Amino acid sequence: MSMLTCPSCGANDLDLRAYDSMMVLRPDLALFSIHCTHCSTKISTLQPIPASLREEVQFAAIEVGAGMGME
């Protein structure tokens, strides 16, 4: 599980899988936008894509015709 710490309030139980938006940069790396459930701070972070989301990302790439570096 990919947990984050809020830079504003210090809460350390933010689940990256509860992202607001995700911009995939590589098959294994994305820019995530997430909000803190404790103080509502919007957090942007560059993180490895959690294994539990990789299949979803691959499916979305196929749906929109993004190659994701695969031939």
Cα separations (Å) of 57 from 36, 41, 46? Answer: 23, 25, 16
How many helices, marked H, and strands, marked E, lie in the chain? 1, 5
Q: What is the distance between the alpha carbons of residues 71 and 56, in angstroms, rounded to a whole number?
A: 18
What is the spatial order of strands in the sheet that 29-35 belongs to?
21-26, 29-35, 42-48
pTM: 0.78
Q: What is the tens place of the pLDDT at every residue in 26-69?
A: 888 999 999 999 999 999 999 999 998 888 888 877 777 776 55
